A and B are shown apart, each in its own frame.
Chain A
Amino acid sequence: MPPCLELIEVGKTYATREGPLTALDPTSFEILEGEFASLVGPSGCGKSTLLYMIAGLEPPSSGTIYLDGRRVLRPGRERGMVFQEYTLFPWLTVEENIRFSRRLSANRNEGDLPFDADYSGHLIEIMGLAKFSRAYPRELSGGMKQRVAIARALLNRPRLLLMDEPFGALDAQTREEMQELMRLLSQRERATILFVTHDIEESLFLSDRILVLSAHPGRIVREVSVDFPKERDLDLKLATDFLSMKRDLLHLLRSNIKPAFDPALLRSKLSTVTPLTS
């Protein structure tokens, strides 16, 4: 399959008062068409920065990004994005939010886009939003808000869907529900997806391929192919090989994180303090 997205030596350096700070070491990778890829890493590893650069919302300090062989310089409708925060337009109903891109001139008069009402109706239905199409965002739960945001991005039929920890703010049950939905969606809508998360389990469940990043500065430390069957359900998370992969990746991540405290030191300090419960 041809690469949909191609990154060549893409790095990010911020100018600070103490001098330049490298957030992301020059990084190269490809995302294939129809692939579900995840960027996993601890906070501060530059995975979100990487995503924002691919979206064109932030310029890279070095290197180039190509989408279908064309250089990425600015945001564009062929790269849809779902953000971590709830980013629905509060003055629009669910349906109006999903169809927002139709109001934009870039998407008008485009014969090649299946912009018929059918597709938005289809998205509303498969996202389970039919009953709420006239509701305003403030009336929705967190999970529903993110479903609307995903549908809004999908209506544009993006070549690549970028997702920046989209389920980070959701509770555990809703999160799993959304993961299952996302896996189904990626199969049915044949979307190419680049998914950023710090949750290894989530990335294992969702992805075909995982890129593991380390922090300070961010760089790819391992690339993992996830060869579970295409059709997955939540029970997969309890399978032995799933758990062993999860264990490996967790250990890999831990070995790359500088611990915030030294457990041995903490234990010895605490032993000199009278426990609260005595």
Chain B
Amino acid sequence: MMPERNAFAMGGALLSRFLARSRTAFGTTASRSPASETRCPDAMPAWRAIFELRRPIPRRIRLLSAWLGFGAFLLVWSIASHYFALKGDGILFPSPARVIGAAADYAGYGPRTEQRIAAARESAALAGATLHQSEAEIRAAARADLGTLWLDVKSSFLRVTVAFLLAAALGIPAGILMGSFRIFESLLQPLTEFIRYVPVPALVPVLMLFFGIGETSKVMLIFAGTFFQLALMVAGEIRRVPIDLLQVCATLGGTRLEAIRRVLLPAALPGIFDTLRICNGWAWTWVIVAEIVAADSGLGFRIVKYQRFLQTDKIFLYLIVLGLIGLLLDYFFRQVNRTFFHWTDTTKR
């Protein structure tokens, strides 16, 4: 096929030209010879190339700046904790080191555990007796906190997942209806838009009156926080499917139901899956709200509990765990998307 080959050749030529340009733009001053200078007189210095609009930057610089971001964050954190320590409120704002120490305690080898062991040894020496609690027992007790963390993660995860699955099971069909038929759009969309703007925490009192303080009210809160958004976003994804594809289906003899099942759904599926990813993130926000209000387990509940005992280092640890859970779920959804929807043109997204 001649034209295809031409297209490839052209693409190749473009690519090599781009590479040549980026090489000069990003080459170090030492490696840039005078010869290449004359060949490409308009080469710009590397620092300017980095700040060109939307131009890709070298991998090294990308990684470096990502670490730099984290480093800056840690620095600001350290400075803030020092400031609190100078004020004498060090307990209120833990340093990074203390949070790492708290994490080590969860493994049974942190400063708090060592302190306890040392104290036990001291009192045993004073009493001239053996340790009241053996060292292993103290370490095991410290590790029990890890069990608590695991329990909290499990119960939060369960609440999020049940509510999220419920919201998806109802929100996806509702969104498909709203996106496919104008009549359902005008019937449901204004109502949904309205409810969407009712702040979810404002529902907490009524939900507790309706469903008590058990699991139901928490699940309902997360559901209320995600369902309406999800339905609207799914409707948007359905509407983004080009009308041409529906027309093709119709001219090939497809019925309306077939157009939904064979065209709208598969075409919108990557977008719907992306919507699920985003809504899952919101569900984690609402589970914390629900658990802060009333619960006997869960990450949000534990954070409030640690607040009462001024164990801010553990609070920070829980925040980090929340961030990691979010990252993991995000990664999971993205991987699934990449695996199942490899046909999407990733350059356009």
With a cutoff of 8 Å between Cβ atoms, the chain B residues found around residue A89 in the complex are 245, 248, 263, 266-267
The chain A residue with its CB closest to the CB of B1 is: A128
Please give the distance in Å from B20's CB to the nearest CB on chain A.
25
Contact A141 B250 (CB under 8 A): no
What is the interface of chain A, defined by CB distance below 8 A to chain B? 55-57, 74-77, 79-81, 83, 85, 87, 89-92, 100-101, 103-107, 128, 136-138, 141, 143-144, 149, 152-153, 156, 162, 171, 173-174, 177
Question: Which of A80, A143, A144, A174 lies in contact with B252, CB distance below 8 A?
Answer: A80
- Provide the bound-state CA to CA distance between A74 and B253, in Å: 10
With a cutoff of 8 Å between Cβ atoms, the chain A residues found around residue B343 in the complex are 90-92, 136-138
Please give the distance in Å from B244's CB to the nearest CB on chain A.
5
- Which residues of chain B (251-268) have a CB below 8 Å from chain A? 251-255, 258, 262-263, 266-267
Instruction: Indicate if B133 sits at the interface (CB-CB under 8 A).
Output: no
With a cutoff of 8 Å between Cβ atoms, the chain A residues found around residue B344 in the complex are 90, 138
Please give the distance in Å from A29's CB to the nearest CB on chain B.
21
- Which residues of chain B (1-21) have a CB below 8 Å from chain A? 1-4, 6-7
- Provide the bound-state CA to CA distance between A23 and B306, in Å: 72
Contact B3 A141 (CB under 8 A): yes
A91-B341, A138-B343 given as contacts; is B247 within 8 A of A103 (CB)? no
Please give the distance in Å from B14's CB to the nearest CB on chain A.
15
With a cutoff of 8 Å between Cβ atoms, the chain B residues found around residue A105 in the complex are 255, 258
Contact B267 A91 (CB under 8 A): yes
Residue interface bits B124-168, CB-to-A below 8 A is 1, else 0: 000000000000000000000000000000000000000000000
Please give the distance in Å from B285's CB to the nearest CB on chain A.
32
Interface size on B, residues (CB 8 A): 29
Instruction: Indicate if B345 sits at the interface (CB-CB under 8 A).
Output: yes
19 chain-A/chain-B pairs, Cβ below 8 angstroms: A55-B247, A56-B250, A57-B250, A83-B248, A87-B242, A87-B248, A89-B266, A89-B267, A91-B343, A104-B253, A104-B258, A138-B344, A143-B3, A144-B1, A152-B248, A156-B252, A173-B3, A174-B3, A177-B3
Contact B345 A106 (CB under 8 A): no
With a cutoff of 8 Å between Cβ atoms, the chain B residues found around residue A103 in the complex are 258, 262
- Provide the bound-state CA to CA distance between A128 and B4, in Å: 12
Contact A81 B266 (CB under 8 A): no
Please give the distance in Å from B251's CB to the nearest CB on chain A.
4
Contact A141 B4 (CB under 8 A): yes
- Provide the bound-state CA to CA distance between A90 and B341, in Å: 10
Contact B247 A83 (CB under 8 A): yes
Residue among A74, A91, A128, A141 with the highest chain B CB neighbour number at 10 A: A91
Contact B247 A75 (CB under 8 A): yes
- Provide the bound-state CA to CA distance between A177 and B258, in Å: 35
- Provide the bound-state CA to CA distance between A77 and B341, in Å: 29
The chain B residue with its CB closest to the CB of A131 is: B1
With a cutoff of 8 Å between Cβ atoms, the chain A residues found around residue B248 in the complex are 81, 83, 87, 89, 149, 152
- Provide the bound-state CA to CA distance between A152 and B7, in Å: 24
The chain A residue with its CB closest to the CB of B259 is: A104
Residue among B252, B258, B267 with the highest chain A CB neighbour number at 10 A: B252
Please give the distance in Å from A230's CB to the nearest CB on chain B.
26
